[in-house]
Amino acid sequence: MKNKLFVILLCFFSFGFSQEAKVINHIFNGNEKAQEEEYIEAEKAYREALSLAPEKAKALFNLGNTHFLDKKYQEASQRFFKHKNLQLQKKISIKHSIIWEMFICKKRIIKKQ
């Protein structure tokens, strides 16, 4: 029984790590293509990374930067705006989780009294 659980957990974690590795690989490839001024290929790589991990801010920012370098300013501004909103959402969710933890702690203290 323990062996089955171990194998299941191992498969679960390895899938997560392999997925993240694929995303990082696509971003790396996009960076290389952007440096070589192959903007269409860089865009493809960043979009592939975003298809695997839509919340990956680095891929979104790099895609915007690639559009900017390719003089597609409207598309670049959309990507930068989306990147900024994504970063803002992450900060808000962290703030909300901290407030929630403070609320729970306060509730526990009141119960103990």
Q: State percent of the chain over pLDDT 90.
A: 36
Q: Cα separation of 52 and 8, whole Å?
A: 22
Asked if residue 10 has pLDDT above 80, the reply is no
pTM of the predicted model over 0.85: no
- For the record, the structure tokens of 20 come out as 């993240």
pLDDT in tens, 48-92: 999 999 888 889 899 999 999 999 999 988 988 888 888 877 776
Structural Rg of the chain based on CA atoms: 20
List the alpha helices (DSSP H) in 1-113.
2-35, 39-52, 57-69, 73-112
Average pLDDT of the segment spanning 1-20: 56
Residue tagged 């306060």 (tokens): 106
**pLDDT at residue number 72:** 92
- Domain limits of the chain? 2-86
Asked if residue 95 has pLDDT above 70, the reply is no
What would the CATH number be for the domain defined by 2-86?
1.25.40.10
